[in-house]
Amino acid sequence: MSDYRKAILITYPVDQVIKEAISLADAAGYSIIKTVTQRQLIRSRFGIGLGKAEEVKEMVQEIRPDVIIFDEVLKPTQMYNLASLCKIEIVDRERLILEIFERRASTTESQIQIKLAQLRYDMARAREKVRLARAGEQPGFYGLGKYEADVYFLDIRKRVAVLKKKLGKEETRRQLHRDQRARAGLPTVSLAGYTSAGKTTLFNTLTGENKATHKSVFTTLSTFTRAINLAGEKVLLNDTVGFISKLPAYMIDAFKSTLDELTYASLVLLVLDISESIEEIASKYDSSLDVINEFEVPGTRLVYVLNKVDLTTPEDAFDKAGQLGLLESKRVLPVSAKTNYNVELLKDLVGTMLFETEKVKEERMEEEA
């Protein structure tokens, strides 16, 4: 595809990591023409070691890519150092994810969230430039003096405040919906999990919807809710934004209002792509737990959906779930959102859990009354 920009990728020497970085790059419109790996990407000066950085510099001169993609979140100084050495633009993992979100954001809320995340990203880098300029390590701030730099910060701060206010309004709107649902007494089930685990495919299977699904990362960037029937009762089902590893906390923050649904959900279906290697599954599971913990979802409200079992076997799925220590919970089910395997069973499980816990709650309330 001709509108793809050419990139050199710097990443870790681990197959799954390389694969993910390439698919992130692809989703942001870059094609990788060369991959450089190193075991350590968080060294202080350039992220990579000096020798490796020199190698990359030569490579850049030789193959003339448009950018270097660096598969870690770089500090502004590291990014500046590497860019100056190689004389090329650096897109770190954070920037890359922002670029994908920017391309995909379609709802007002997600657009505001992206804009906010971008301003924070720019602000951190501008601060660093000012610091370097003051330390005499870098000439002026975009050729501007201290006064102009202050004006620039003030301007960003104002824009952040305006966006936050807008986002607040969206949150209020969402909260109103939530209150209405709560008043209607409808339990909510949220689908959560790493990007591409198959959340939306399962959402479509359960609701009969036709929301976009794709093999590419971050297909879904906003939450949808639909009502379904479980055990003869009406239940609301939520699809959410996918998770990814190595994300700075403020990115989770930017999506907090969307992911807030997790806090309010009666149950969270944690969707795992069980067809992947155990290492891959384990690392994605860890990243997912990090996010889920941010939203204070207790373990007892989690159901583990071992999705894409059509690409492997139920035995293999249970074996992997066992290695993750999930079997004791008894809330584990291999399913295929694609072939519908065990989807009815999943509905039964969720229905039982919801309405049994509801019953237990009612009984407890009656006891207390």
Ligand X SMILES: Nc1nc2c(ncn2[C@@H]2O[C@H](COP(=O)(O)OP(=O)(O)OP(=O)(O)O)[C@@H](O)[C@H]2O)c(=O)[nH]1
Which residues contribute to the site for ligand X (CB under 6 A)?
193, 195-201, 213-215, 217-220, 242, 307-308, 310-311, 336-338
Tell me the C-alpha distance between 60 and 35, whole Å.
12
- Helices 93-104 and 15-27 pack at an angle, to 10 degrees, of 40
The option from Mg ion, ligand X, none interacting with 201 (CB < 5 to 8 A, set by class) reads ligand X
Stretch that binds Mg ion, among 13-21, 38-46, 100-108, 192-200 (CB under 5 A): 192-200
DSSP 8-state secondary structure symbol assigned to residue 154: H
The least distance separating ligand X from the CB of residue 308, rounded to whole angstroms, comes to 4
Question: What is the CB-side half-sphere exposure of residue 356 using CA atoms within 13 A?
Answer: 8
The option from ligand X, Mg ion, none interacting with 195 (CB < 5 to 8 A, set by class) reads ligand X
Q: Give 78 or 222: the residue with its C-beta nearer to Mg ion.
A: 222
**Taking CB positions, which residue lies at the least distance from Mg ion?**
220
Cβ proximity of 101 and 27 under 8 Å? no
Rg (CA), the chain: 23
Q: Facing residues of 269 across strands? A: 191, 303
The least distance separating ligand X from the CB of residue 12, rounded to whole angstroms, comes to 22
The residue whose two tokens read 């391309």 is: 103
The option from Mg ion, ligand X, none interacting with 336 (CB < 5 to 8 A, set by class) reads ligand X
By CB under 5 A, residue 275 contacts Mg ion: no
Torsion angle of the four alpha carbons 187, 348, 270, 228, in this order, in degrees rounded to the nearest 10 = -50
- SS3 call for 239: strand
DSSP 8-state secondary structure symbol assigned to residue 144: B
The least distance separating ligand X from the CB of residue 198, rounded to whole angstroms, comes to 3
By CB under 5 A, residue 81 contacts Mg ion: no
The option from Mg ion, ligand X, none interacting with 205 (CB < 5 to 8 A, set by class) reads none
**Taking CB positions, which residue lies at the least distance from ligand X?**
242
How many residues lie near Mg ion (CB under 5 A)? 4
Q: Give 240 or 257: the residue with its C-beta nearer to ligand X.
A: 240
The option from Mg ion, ligand X, none interacting with 38 (CB < 5 to 8 A, set by class) reads none
Cβ proximity of 110 and 222 under 8 Å? yes
The least distance separating ligand X from the CB of residue 193, rounded to whole angstroms, comes to 6
Which amino acid is it at 110?
Answer: S
> Which stretch of DSSP H or E encloses residue 95?
helix 93-104
The least distance separating ligand X from the CB of residue 150, rounded to whole angstroms, comes to 40
Closest CA to 67 of 1, 21, 5, 20: 5
Torsion angle of the four alpha carbons 123, 124, 127, 133, in this order, in degrees rounded to the nearest 10 = -120
The least distance separating ligand X from the CB of residue 310, rounded to whole angstroms, comes to 5
Stretch that binds Mg ion, among 8-16, 220-228, 270-278, 312-320 (CB under 5 A): 220-228
The least distance separating ligand X from the CB of residue 324, rounded to whole angstroms, comes to 18
The least distance separating Mg ion from the CB of residue 154, rounded to whole angstroms, comes to 38
By CB under 5 A, residue 200 contacts Mg ion: yes
> Which stretch of DSSP H or E encloses residue 70?
strand 67-70
Kindly give the pairing relationship between strand 267-273 and strand 224-230.
Answer: unpaired
Among 11, 81, 113, 219, binds Mg ion (CB under 5 A): 219
Among 220, 225, 257, 258, binds Mg ion (CB under 5 A): 220
Chain residues binding Mg ion by CB under 5 A are 199-200, 219-220
